[in-house]
Chain A
Amino acid sequence: MASGAAVLNPRRYLMDDRRFVGVIFLAPALLYILLLVGLPFLLAIAFGFSDVTVGNTELNFVGFDNFVAVWENDIFRQVFSNTVMFTLISQVFILIFANILAIIFTQEFTGKWFARFIFILPWATPVSLAAIGWLWMFDTKYSPIDYLLLQTGFLGPKGILSNSRNLFWLANPALSQISVIFVQVWRMTPLATVILMAGLSSIPTDILDQAEVDGSRFMRTLLQIKLPLILPIMVIALLFSMITMFGDMTVVYVLTRGGPVDYTRIIGLYSFQIGIEGGNLAQGAAMALFAFPLLLALALLMLRTASRAEVR
């Protein structure tokens, strides 16, 4: 009754209808994404429970065989613990550095633009290319770092660190792990910093002015006002960079290909090596799936934190 004109002319004003336009605007993107991510995701699960290989495309259901095989594989256990360890350790450093840098870059100082340009470079450069720089820095023979250590007496015949002229950054088990973690911290810190900067600059100036009027000095304002206020954003930055790191294999691919032995092999790389290079799609998929529950938990945690932060 009330919408007489719309009944008479149902198609004429669709472009004015909030909901209709909303649906046709959103639908293409939503469908594209769901198709492009949802389908492979389901396929990944199907692969995990099958015996598919590059040569044999038939999907035969094999139950949990792949997952059992993967879990009983000693290498995979090492790989799994590497992944978790690398991710956790690097997050600690990323968080520390990102906090310091975010505080620095929300201040005004001479040369800020240039300093910011420099410090964003590691994040702006495609990872695989930045890793090449580090590959050279860590070179077995010509490493510039080794040269510096040699000149300062840390290396060489009477060296404190080693008698050799080189440290073999990427060939020594412990050093190779440290190197990989270092490069991850190096390239991920800017992103976390930017997220934290956004948080810091969104604190209302009223609150900071009030703190100043109340007689709070720099450190007190920082510890008791700023950090508590950006805590939710800090959690988001943390989870975000954890998820990114978990799903990345570029750094280790370029630096070490997982070596020496398996010391720097991580899940993404191993599943690439088994699944694509080795042709065992089923096992590769099963490996990748192992990390999924962990990732999902992280993502949900992140969303919860984010929605709570919004309420504030």
Chain B
Amino acid sequence: MSLVELQGIKKFFDNVRAVDGIELEIEDGEFLVILGPSGCGKTTLMRMIAGLEKPTAGQIFIGGEDVTALPPRKRGVSMVFQSYALYPHMNVFNNIAFPLKAQSREKKYDKRAIRDKVENTARLLEIDMLLDRRPRQLSGGQRQRVAIARAMVTQPAVLLLDEPLSNLDAKLRANARDELKEFQRSSNITAVFVTHDQIEAMGLGDRIVVMSQGKIQQIGTPQFIYDDPANEFVATFLGSPSMNILRSEVFSFGFRPENFLPKTLADNPENSRIFHYYIKRVEYLGSDRLLYGYVHGHDNELTLAKVPSNVRVALDVDCDYEFAVHNSDIKFFDRQSGQRIEQQNLQGVV
């Protein structure tokens, strides 16, 4: 039995289908990332798990119990908001103690128990020296830790995180990502993390749910989703620069820029497909060279190649070269639906 189960969840705002039929199971102890562009319904989905929004249709189970009609406080979830939502009129101690006091009707905590719990949680997150401060006296990273501490202090069944890293500057973010993952693993809590940042998603998630237009596009481990995208959307949304998509009569096919290499560098050219590639522009990115150009026969579809800089091959602008992609790295998609087509089903056409 999964810890969290979503069955046929829909949410319409007036006529906008924000979330449109979601089936999802979240396992105990896993770090699940919901990834998608803004407006894809990922935050709405998380808010429905939290109980902040009521689904238009469908049911939500947490720990086997139907919680669809329950208010947030009865669900055993906690949440870290994008803005952290720390109570500005309380110091850090009271911020962290707030959920304990709030739930004291069900579980009676005495003052000592509250103090112990707050201090333990604060120590775990290394903010025990900040307990007397007000939120506005804290740095961005400290605020984030306080928010997580507040969410963790009640030992919830599920920890929901709504883009909690997006307010940090880039330097802090990598560090915070690392610590968050470490913290989740050591405390073995079930975490659901919403983000639009694929690097965060790939780095943090045990599994990733890719969402678009209110629907789940694909679920799987980061590696699986990257290597085997279920459709054109997932293929182009993940990866930077994104997958090249070239169109032909009945299907489109795509390959990643890092798999698109000069023929001379290809491992086994006999199992590869060869393209005539015209280079229009070269960008040096330090470790890589990023090539912009066109594949022969697809003169309107900008195609990118990412070649490691340490490969000593002359690649000049305004020249034609032979480039190769290994057959297994080429993915085929239906031109109408965008869905993946297995290669063997295309034998006759290719």
- Verify whether A and B have any Cβ pair under 8 Å: yes
Expressed in whole angstroms, the Cα–Cα distance for A3 and B74 within the complex equals 14
Instruction: List A residues 78-109 near B (Cβ within 8 Å).
Output: none
- Which chain B residue lies CB-closest to A13? B71
Interface presence of B3 (CB below 8 A):
no
- Which chain B residue lies CB-closest to A10? B69
Contact with A along B52-90 (1 / 0, CB 8 A): 000101110000001111111110000000000000000
State the interface size on chain A (CB cutoff 8 A).
Answer: 8
- Which chain B residue lies CB-closest to A1? B59
Expressed in whole angstroms, the Cα–Cα distance for A5 and B59 within the complex equals 11
**Residues of chain B within 8 A of A3, CB atoms compared:** 68-69
Interface of A, secondary structure class, is helix
Instruction: List A residues 1-34 near B (Cβ within 8 Å).
Output: 2-7, 13, 16
| Contact (Cβ within 8 A) B70 A4 | no
Contact with A along B37-59 (1 / 0, CB 8 A): 00000000000000000010111
| Contact (Cβ within 8 A) A5 B71 | no
State the interface size on chain B (CB cutoff 8 A).
Answer: 13
Expressed in whole angstroms, the Cα–Cα distance for A5 and B74 within the complex equals 11
Expressed in whole angstroms, the Cα–Cα distance for A5 and B69 within the complex equals 6
**Residues of chain A within 8 A of B55, CB atoms compared:** 2
Expressed in whole angstroms, the Cα–Cα distance for A13 and B72 within the complex equals 10
**Residues of chain B within 8 A of A6, CB atoms compared:** 69
Choose one: B58, B69, B73, B74; the contact of A4 (CB below 8 Å).
B69
**Residues of chain B within 8 A of A7, CB atoms compared:** 69
| Contact (Cβ within 8 A) B67 A5 | yes
Q: Which of A2, A4, A7 has the most chain B CB within a 10 Å cutoff?
A: A2
CB distance from A215 to the nearest CB of B (A): 36
- Which chain A residue lies CB-closest to B57? A2
- Which chain B residue lies CB-closest to A8? B69
Expressed in whole angstroms, the Cα–Cα distance for A269 and B58 within the complex equals 64
| Contact (Cβ within 8 A) B71 A2 | no
CB distance from B343 to the nearest CB of A (A): 42
**Residues of chain A within 8 A of B70, CB atoms compared:** 5, 13
CB distance from A12 to the nearest CB of B (A): 9
Contact with A along B274-313 (1 / 0, CB 8 A): 0000000000000000000000000000000000000000
| Contact (Cβ within 8 A) A2 B58 | yes
- Which chain A residue lies CB-closest to B68? A2
Choose one: B59, B72, B73, B74; the contact of A2 (CB below 8 Å).
B59
23 pairs of residues in contact across A and B, judged by CB atoms under 8 Å? A2-B55, A2-B57, A2-B58, A2-B59, A2-B68, A2-B69, A3-B68, A3-B69, A4-B68, A4-B69, A5-B66, A5-B67, A5-B68, A5-B69, A5-B70, A6-B69, A7-B69, A13-B69, A13-B70, A13-B71, A16-B71, A16-B72, A16-B73
Other A-B pairs, 20, CB within 8 Å; known A2-B69, A13-B74, A16-B72: A2-B55, A2-B57, A2-B58, A2-B59, A2-B68, A3-B68, A3-B69, A4-B66, A4-B68, A4-B69, A5-B66, A5-B68, A5-B69, A5-B70, A6-B69, A7-B69, A13-B69, A13-B70, A16-B71, A16-B73
Query: Hey, which bits of chain A sit against chain B, CB under 8 A?
Result: 2-7, 13, 16
